[in-house]
Amino acid sequence: MSAADVQSAPGRTRRGALSRLFGLRETGVALALIALCVVLSLATESFLTQTNLLNVGRQVSLLGIMAVGMTFVLISGEVDLSIGSIYAFAGLATGMLIVGGWALLPALAAGLLCGAVIGAINGLLSTYGRLPSLIATLGMLSIVRGAALILTDGRPVTVNERLGADPDTLAAFEFMGQGRLFDVIPMQLVFFAAVAAVAWAVLAGTTFGFRVFAVGGSAKAARISGIRIEAVKIWAFTVMGTLAALAGILAMAFLPSGQAGRTGLGLELDVIAATIIGGASLAGGEGTILGTILGVLIIGVMRNGLVLMGVSPFVQELMIGLVIIVAVAIDKWSRRRGG
């Protein structure tokens, strides 16, 4: 090797590292988020204030918790449209149990178990039931929403002392949704950070995480290598159901009132959009928790910025719809180029 080659090697290494960095989907999403924040900070005076940024963190937390679960499902090559209904059912059921005199931990466990069972049913229908997950979870969306309406008799559910909730239980429950860690950080954001950290560790550093990627990348190859595809997918749906239930319970704790016919409607669209924006693929086999977090932040920052700018809620829905279309289009185009 010549002296010139030795001298140019570090330069090639740096260029290669930069090329890999800017080739990552997460890098593009992060740059888009930074650009969006710069535009909003110039367009509004209140965007970069601590109060507003913490408010954005709280607002995206429930969406983020569900998007983390959706990351597992999408990477495994499936999709879940029932999460809005699970969100409503689990939150309302937990609220009713607290009003009925249950202690906090048993009520929370029951609500989370509801979500896990519904998620497992979705997984069973999509694997052993041989139904496309799109159809299975679309059916479960209506079934679970109907069950929530039957459970509540179509009436609003309110959690307060007057209706029978224990004062100490109610205080602890409301702290989960309304409290602040160190009187600064919203508890919903704390739950989101904890869920994201655990999910990152599982997806990136465990055998289960490897199997999720393997199943989504090539089910046939995964089966040949001895991976039980059905079990992996069922567990992915179970994680999704549990996290949707957790988000619904935190929503009920934040605003201790809800109605089965309205709570969680349309949430699945924002969740899927955020996850795909973050780099997860509808075809399976691709996605990261970091990318999902960035996708969630883009959705949340966009909504917050549009509100601060006084944009009509109707226009906001239109723009979110455009973001979903663009995100799916980018996913498809990038896969075609890569293939």
Q: How many CB atoms lie within 10 A of CB 195?
A: 22
Mark residue 130 as left, alpha or beta (left: phi above 0; alpha: psi -120 to 50; beta: remaining): left
Q: Which residues contact 263 (CB under 8 A, 6 or more apart)?
A: 87, 88, 91, 92, 148, 248, 251
Residue-by-residue pLDDT tens, the chain, 339 positions: 454 454 444 444 454 444 444 446 678 788 888 888 998 888 888 888 889 999 999 999 999 999 999 999 999 999 999 999 999 999 999 999 999 999 999 999 999 999 999 999 999 999 999 999 999 999 999 999 999 999 999 899 999 888 888 999 999 999 999 999 998 999 999 999 999 999 999 999 999 999 999 999 998 999 999 999 999 999 999 999 999 999 999 999 998 888 988 888 888 888 998 898 888 888 888 889 999 999 999 989 988 888 888 888 888 778 877 877 776 676 566 656 555
Rounded Cα distance, 71 and 69, in Å: 5
CB 278 within 8 A of CB 29: yes
Does the residue 209 lie in any domain?
yes
CA 1 to the chain's CA centroid: 51
Name the phi and psi angles at 181, rounded to 5: -70, 130
* β-strand pairing of 157-158 with 257-258: antiparallel
The DSSP call for residue 166 is -
Rounded Cα distance, 257 and 158, in Å: 4
Does the residue 22 lie in any domain?
no
Q: Which of 294, 335, 284 is nearest to 73 (CA)?
A: 284
CB 39 within 8 A of CB 302: no
pLDDT on residue 331: 59
Q: How many CB atoms lie within 10 A of CB 84?
A: 24
CB 300 within 8 A of CB 128: no
Does the residue 218 lie in any domain?
yes
Buried/exposed code over 133-162 (b: 16+ C-beta within 10 A; e: otherwise): beebbbebbeebbebbbeebeeeebbbeee
Q: How many CB atoms lie within 10 A of CB 295?
A: 32
Does the residue 164 lie in any domain?
yes
pTM: 0.88
- Number of domains present in the structure of the chain: 1
Q: Which residues contact 289 (CB under 8 A, 6 or more apart)?
A: 68, 71, 196, 199, 200, 203, 204
pLDDT on residue 21: 42
Specify the CATH number for the domain of residue 211. 1.10.3470
Does the residue 11 lie in any domain?
no
Domain housing 292: 27-33+45-338
Does the residue 10 lie in any domain?
no
Does the residue 3 lie in any domain?
no
CA 256 to the chain's CA centroid: 22
CB 296 within 8 A of CB 63: yes
**Helix (H) / strand (E) containing 178:** helix 167-178
Does the residue 5 lie in any domain?
no
Q: Which of 289, 107, 295 is nearest to 212 (CA)?
A: 289
